[in-house]
Structure 1
Amino acid sequence: MSISLGRLADILGAELHGDRNCLINRVGTLQCASSGAISFLANRRYRVYLPATRASAVILSSADLSECPVFSLVLENPYLGYARTAALLNPSLLPSCSVHSSAWVSPKAVVHETAWIGPQAVIEEGASVGREAYIGAGCTVEPGVIIGDYSQLMANVTLCRDVVVGKRVLIHPGVVIGSDGFGIANDKGMWVKVPQLGTVRIGDDVEIGANTTIDRGALEDTVLEDGVKIDNQVQVGHNVFIGAHTAIAGCVAIAGSVRIGKQCIIGGSTAIAGHLEIADNVYLTGASQVTKAISKSGVYSSWIPVQESLVWRKNVARLHQLDEIARRIKALEGLPKEQHS
């Protein structure tokens, strides 16, 4: 697919510097793009590559315009412009409606005539598959599941009983939604399973990364509101509530009954203890360990950035001496000033 630079500028609402008739057919990095490609500059670390780029055009901010040697589209948010351009030049190419001969669809399931059901997929009794939905190879859709219009399940996704998926949801390979949450009660040293009686409800325009697991609620449902974006290999415990347009990076673990506000950003490898509430517009940097509720929006961190091993070992050794250091400081503060030395 190709598009003129002028047409692209109109779609993005960008300020064009250059030939409106220049044709663009792909996106690329500043370093590797060639004629016909459009690149972008959203991170100042890559500005060094701008003067020598061979792209036909670059999406950038006004601050970088003077350094650009080729045609340009000026936007306040170049990264967003890149995202929309890439989507425009690379439309989704899903197959036309059909049910593969090796798929099994229960006679008591409701599958829209425009849906596509892939090889070895299973659609069980009482399930509902919406308009132009895509169910990839090897997917399992259990009884009572509802899949909204235009949603896509890539290969080997499992939706357990009664899960509700909204419209335009994208679920990547290997995701399991609605398996039992980790509920156990102790009986004199023995563990007794607690039945998980809720389900999972997913809003519209949600994306869930590969091999992520989202547990069903114990009594109330686990809920992901509209526009939530989840990366690969994330664990979402039972009864968790994730507010609209929150983004969660890879390998995050969220324990049961956590409530996360709207428009939060959760950095990779963060762990959130159970039964906590996190306010709207909270940004947790990578590898944070959240053990207390966060009631105020802002940026929060709790991990030591990487250091040379020898320096790190010395600092950890000092951490183990904090109690003794605090005791000695307290004792010194109790002395008359003339004795401090």
Structure 2
Amino acid sequence: MTKRRVWTLQELATLIGADLEGDGDCHISGINTLQSAQPGDISFLANPAYQKYLPDTRASAVIMRADSREVFAGNRLLSTNPYLCYAKLSQVLDTSPAAVPGVHTSASVDPSVRLGEGVSIGASASVAAGAVLGAGVVIGPGCSVGADCEIGADTVLHANVTLYHGVRIGSGVILHSGCVIGADGFGFAPSAAGWVKIHQLGGVVIGDRVEIGACTTVDRGALDDTVIGNGVIIDNQVQVAHNVRIGENTAIAGCTGIAGSTTIGKNCIIAGAACIAGHLTIVDNVQITAVTFINQSIDTPGSYSSGTLATASKQWRRNAIRFGQLDRIASRLGVLERALEKKFSKSDTQAGSGTDKE
């Protein structure tokens, strides 16, 4: 069990760049929500909807904006961005066990593998021939690192991550348990005898400071590489197909599927369960809302949505029938519009051809 360190409130204020109001010697050893915090914990208020819990919180200190200070009489860390301060503080107070440098006796590491200083390789992990692991790399228990993979400094593979051959990963990357990077893309050619497999000859290139969630798959390219840019964050159970390219600092939430050869720009935000068809291009700074289906390229930044909101099933069935009638309704409307235009055009002509009698 990892022992929690005790910090003074002044130390934490300095580390996260917040302004202290209160007792700088107050001891803090944990972080929790306003509702669940106990003495010794610090909490935060980022969403105004939770301000109602502020007067009764037992937290020893709270991170908040200055305009909420009157609601809480205790120790305060003031910031214009409490949520960012919370993110920084979570790193400081993290109690995850530290990796121990060295190679576990049950691990299998090919003699040709190049290991940087301070590398940690866990129990039953396997690292194949020609792999290069930078300084401080952590390979968790049960991981499989394929031949000729390159992993940058301080990258962490949690338990049971699989890298196929020839995968290249940058520095400071985090891959969570169950990730599969570099599996074959879904490529088959039809023939009279059945499907003929197209061997995937490309690789996967992942930039620096990328985080990929549990059980997410990133397929290798058919010919060119599948590429994930610096600073990209990808949630759990996301499918990234072959030859997809994802620009820097894009965020992709859980259960999203991205079909092959689609390019996504920089600084995009893709919400959960979105479905993006293949061979598309999405420009920088696009936001795609949850459960949206994108079937054509997007060339203008902004927010995009599709689908309908949930309603009672009885109403939904009626709406579904109406959706099926939209094409016929549009055709009938077009006929009516043309008839009206013809009628008004004829009336205008007749009115213009008349003469006034005195």
Fold shared, TM-score > 0.5 on shorter chain: yes
Is the Cα contact below 8 Å between 2:106 and 2:123 reproduced in 1?
yes
TM-score (norm 2): 0.90
Paired residue for 2:88, among 84, 87, 90?
84
> Does residue 264 of structure 2 align to residue 260 of structure 1?
yes
| Residues 308-317 or 28-37, more deviating | 308-317
Post-superposition shift, 1:92? 4.4
| Residues 135-144 or 55-64, more deviating | 55-64
Question: Using the alignment, how far apart are the partners of 1:306 and 1:53 within structure 2?
Answer: 36
Paired position in structure 1 for 2:346: none
| Residues 164-173 or 1-10, more deviating | 1-10
Paired position in structure 1 for 2:184: 180
Paired position in structure 1 for 2:353: none
> Does residue 201 of structure 2 align to residue 197 of structure 1?
yes
> Does residue 135 of structure 2 align to residue 161 of structure 1?
no
Post-superposition shift, 1:331? 3.7
Aligned residues: 339
> Does residue 125 of structure 2 align to residue 99 of structure 1?
no
Is the Cα contact below 8 Å between 1:26 and 1:86 reproduced in 2?
no
AA aligned to 1:115 is V
Post-superposition shift, 1:5? 1.7
Paired position in structure 1 for 2:356: none
> Does residue 318 of structure 2 align to residue 314 of structure 1?
yes
> Does residue 24 of structure 2 align to residue 20 of structure 1?
yes
AA aligned to 1:156 is N
Is the Cα contact below 8 Å between 2:17 and 2:85 reproduced in 1?
no
Paired position in structure 2 for 1:71: 75
Paired position in structure 1 for 2:210: 206
User: Which 4+ stretches in 1 moved above 4 angstroms?
Assistant: 334-337
Post-superposition shift, 1:334? 4.2
Residue aligned with 1:330, SS: helix
Question: Using the alignment, how far apart are the partners of 2:64 and 2:303 within structure 1?
Answer: 26
> Does residue 221 of structure 2 align to residue 236 of structure 1?
no
AA aligned to 1:246 is T
Is the Cα contact below 8 Å between 1:266 and 1:285 reproduced in 2?
yes
Alignment of 1:104-143 (within 5 A): 104-143=108-147
Q: 1:231-264 deviations in whole A, cap 9, x for unaligned?
A: 1111000111111111111111000111111111
Alignment of 1:23-62 (within 5 A): 23-62=27-66
AA aligned to 2:306 is S
**Which consecutive residues of structure 2, in runs of 5 or more, have no partner in the other structure?**
344-358
AA aligned to 1:170 is I
Paired position in structure 1 for 2:349: none
Post-superposition shift, 1:324? 2.6
Paired position in structure 1 for 2:297: 293
Residue aligned with 2:315, SS: helix
Post-superposition shift, 1:311? 2.4
Residue aligned with 1:326, SS: helix
Paired position in structure 2 for 1:272: 276
Q: 1:127-166 deviations in whole A, cap 9, x for unaligned?
A: 1112121111111111100111111111111111110111
Is the Cα contact below 8 Å between 1:248 and 1:267 reproduced in 2?
yes
Question: Using the alignment, how far apart are the partners of 1:283 and 1:67 within structure 2?
Answer: 35
Distance 1:104 1:62, change over 3 A: same
Paired residue for 1:145, among 138, 144, 149?
149
Is the Cα contact below 8 Å between 2:137 and 2:152 reproduced in 1?
yes
Is the Cα contact below 8 Å between 2:243 and 2:262 reproduced in 1?
yes
What fraction of aligned residue pairs are identical, expressed as a percent?
A: 49
Residue aligned with 1:320, SS: helix
Post-superposition shift, 1:44? 2.4
Question: Using the alignment, how far apart are the partners of 2:340 and 2:273 within structure 1?
Answer: 48
Question: Using the alignment, how far apart are the partners of 1:202 and 1:25 within structure 2?
Answer: 36
Is the Cα contact below 8 Å between 2:103 and 2:122 reproduced in 1?
yes
Distance 1:307 1:66, change over 3 A: farther
Question: Using the alignment, how far apart are the partners of 2:314 and 2:329 within structure 1?
Answer: 21
Post-superposition shift, 1:188? 4.0
Is the Cα contact below 8 Å between 1:2 and 1:89 reproduced in 2?
no
Q: 1:199-235 deviations in whole A, cap 9, x for unaligned?
A: 0011111111111110001111111111111111110
Paired position in structure 2 for 1:305: 309
RMSD: 1.8
TM-score (norm 1): 0.94
Post-superposition shift, 1:314? 2.1
Question: Using the alignment, how far apart are the partners of 2:217 and 2:89 within structure 1?
Answer: 31
Post-superposition shift, 1:335? 4.9
Question: Using the alignment, how far apart are the partners of 1:113 and 1:9 within structure 2?
Answer: 33
Paired position in structure 1 for 2:223: 219
